[in-house]
Chain A
């Protein structure tokens, strides 16, 4: 298995600012994913973060709003830029060790509130 930690666990930010969320895995993983869960909604995939290449974004999510870094095989960051109240959500990081295994490991999530 893999243990994933996220920082911060929660934050309250002002409109117009940005928040960077860190995701750390205790072992090397092949792929990392970032998800968003808006209040009362299901989790939605934002992007796939691969080491050594740019992130792949899902429809409705753009790099300017959600820049992602993946500098190595154990770490990724998601920045939520130019915050608005609509960005208030739980942001979740997950990872898979081996693309053929399908087993995903999940971080504890970051609860963001934008005022």
Chain B
């Protein structure tokens, strides 16, 4: 079964702390996405990774294909970073190409001032 596991499920931290959210998956993937969902439900795509590391502002995403694991880091966290962070993957299919995503359950992050 193709699964995506995220940890932790909930995380509360103080402003300024370094945040790490983890994602692991069960089988080979073509791409991994990190998404941010705000209370209203809208989703913003943060990163798409197929290898290595990407950085955007205070956000860093890494992926280790061999270990089937990815991490999302937030440096100098701020209360406005409070949201649900979701890992989603495109699993490899024999036909190749992109398909619908399989999502993790999300990490509820709260940054307290």
Interface residues of A (CB under 8 A from B): 31, 33, 35, 37, 41-45, 48, 58, 90, 92, 94, 96, 99-109, 111
Interface residues of B (CB under 8 A from A): 30-31, 33, 35, 40-45, 48, 50, 86, 88, 90, 97-106
In contact, A109 and B43 (Cβ under 8 angstroms) = yes
In contact, B41 and A42 (Cβ under 8 angstroms) = no
Which of these, A37, A102, A107, contacts B31 with CB under 8 Å? A102
Separation in Å of the A42 CB from the closest CB of chain B?
Answer: 4
In contact, B103 and A96 (Cβ under 8 angstroms) = no
Q: Is the interface of A mostly helix, strand, loop or mixed?
A: strand
CB-CB under 8 A from A35, the residues of chain B are 100-101, 103
In contact, B97 and A109 (Cβ under 8 angstroms) = no
Separation in Å of the A98 CB from the closest CB of chain B?
Answer: 8
In contact, A99 and B88 (Cβ under 8 angstroms) = no
CB-CB under 8 A from A48, the residues of chain B are 99-100
In contact, B101 and A104 (Cβ under 8 angstroms) = yes
Separation in Å of the A110 CB from the closest CB of chain B?
Answer: 8
In contact, B45 and A102 (Cβ under 8 angstroms) = no
CB-CB under 8 A from A94, the residues of chain B are 101
Q: List 19 additional A-B contacts (Cβ < 8 Å) besides A35-B101, A103-B31, A109-B40.
A: A37-B41, A42-B106, A43-B86, A43-B88, A43-B101, A44-B103, A48-B100, A58-B100, A94-B101, A99-B97, A99-B98, A102-B48, A104-B33, A104-B48, A106-B45, A108-B41, A108-B42, A109-B42, A109-B43
In contact, B100 and A33 (Cβ under 8 angstroms) = yes
| Smallest Cβ-Cβ distance to A43: which chain B residue | B103
Separation in Å of the A97 CB from the closest CB of chain B?
Answer: 10
| Smallest Cβ-Cβ distance to A58: which chain B residue | B100
In contact, B48 and A41 (Cβ under 8 angstroms) = no
In contact, A101 and B98 (Cβ under 8 angstroms) = yes
